[in-house]
Amino acid sequence: MTTKLIIGHLYPDLLDLYSDRGNVMILEKRARWRGIDADVIRVDAGDDVDLRDCDLVVMGGGMDREQSLVARDLQRRRTNFEQATAEGTVVLAICGGYQLLGEYFETGAGERIPGIGLLDVYTVAGERRMVGNVMAECILDGRTETIFGYENHSGRTYLREGTEPWMRVVRGEGNNGRDGTEGARKGRVFGTYLHGPLLAKNPRLADRLLGLALERRGAEKLRALADRWEEAAREHLARRLAELEGMES
Ligand code: GLN
């Protein structure tokens, strides 16, 4: 194995709703299948880790209580996060993690949990939780890719002017159930409401993140994988969602 890839998994115990850690496994596997030596560094609250050493950082989702616990630790990593992303580290954050990368998350109980402002978005909880399967679209290498995921959140996230959504919702609620946007992206920082785990259901999205992360290692283009099972699972999901839609209408 020649190229090396370091994945930082932040708060694996506190932020792991719907097996978000599966995203880390997918990144690790898809790198290894190409002969890339991938290492996962576990980063818990209180740990001293320089995020500049990571090519990719992954944060999952969590309940409001877990988010408050994480928020304190996250604040002291703020500058380090900014340095890392400026030096090319790619960040993927899901749901609760995504909210904490923004400016703040105001819970249903009225508590304002501060974020670290890597993304120009803010989140306010609504009365109704937004729950269910999501189908969205995202541009990958100039082509529109269908993305499958699952959402469960009270927070409505709003993008500040000039902030790019990561995806557009086809079915489901996305950021706030109103403007058709899903997630946000700023440079190498990606946030989304989609659990799933997201990357298990969307292998081309996984490769896009891997490819970006490997750029800073000067690695060549990623070799394509067969993805037979992944494609079969995606076809099944598309069929199932169409059936559900038929039942609802
Ligand atoms: N606690 C947050 C909310 O309900 C995030 C939930 C999640 O990560 N699924 O909006």
What is the reported pLDDT for 40?
98
Residue 129 in marked binding region: yes
**In the structure, which protein residues have their CB atom closer than 6 angstroms to any atom of ligand 1?**
17, 61-64, 67, 95-96, 152-155
Rounded to whole angstroms, how far apart are CA atoms 17 and 243? 26
Distances (CA, A) of 248 to 149, 168, 243, 244: 19, 22, 9, 6
Atom of ligand 1 nearest to the CA of 18: 9
Enter the tokens of residue 247: 């039942």
Mutating to test ligand 1, I would choose from 23, 99, 122, 194 the residue with most ligand atoms within 8 A of its C-beta, which is: 99
CA of 18 to the centre of ligand 1 (A): 11
Residue type, 202: N
Q: Which of 9, 54, 95, 153 is catalytic?
A: 95
SS3 labels along 123-159: EEEEEEEEEEEEEEEEEECCEEEEEEEEEEEEEEEEE
Distance 152 CA to ligand 1 centre (A): 6
Q: How far apart (Å, rounded) are the C-alpha atoms in residues 225 and 136? A: 23
Q: What is the pLDDT along the chain (249 residues), one digit of tens a residue?
A: 568 999 999 999 999 999 999 999 999 999 999 999 999 999 999 999 999 999 999 999 999 999 999 999 999 999 999 999 999 999 999 999 999 999 999 999 999 999 999 999 999 999 999 999 999 999 998 999 999 999 999 999 999 999 999 999 999 999 999 999 999 999 999 999 999 999 999 999 999 999 999 998 888 789 999 999 999 999 999 999 889 888 877
Percentage above 70 pLDDT, the chain: 99
Q: Whose CA is nearest to atom 3 of ligand 1?
A: 153
User: Does residue 95 have an active-site annotation?
Assistant: yes
Atom index in ligand 1 nearest the CA of residue 97 equals 8
Contact 148, 134 (CB under 8 A): yes
Please give the structure tokens belonging to residue 73: 């630790």
Closest ligand 1 atom to 66 CA? 1
Active site residue 54: no
Q: What is the CATH number of domain 5-245?
A: 3.40.50.880
- For ligand 1, the distance from its centroid to the CA atom of residue 164, given in whole angstroms, is 21
Residues in contact with 158: Cβ distance below 8 Å, sequence separation at least 6, in sequence order: 121, 122, 123, 124, 175, 176
Break the chain into its structural domains and give their ranges.
5-245
Token couple for 111: 């508590």
From 11, 16, 59, 95, the mutation candidate for ligand 1 (largest count of ligand atoms within 8 A of CB) is: 95
pLDDT at 78: 98
Predicted local confidence at residue 141, as pLDDT? 87
What pLDDT sits at residue 220? 79
Distance 119 CA to ligand 1 centre (A): 17
Mutational test site, ligand 1, from 154, 156, 192, max ligand atoms within 8 Å of CB:
154
Centroid of ligand 1 to alpha carbon of 28 (angstroms)? 25
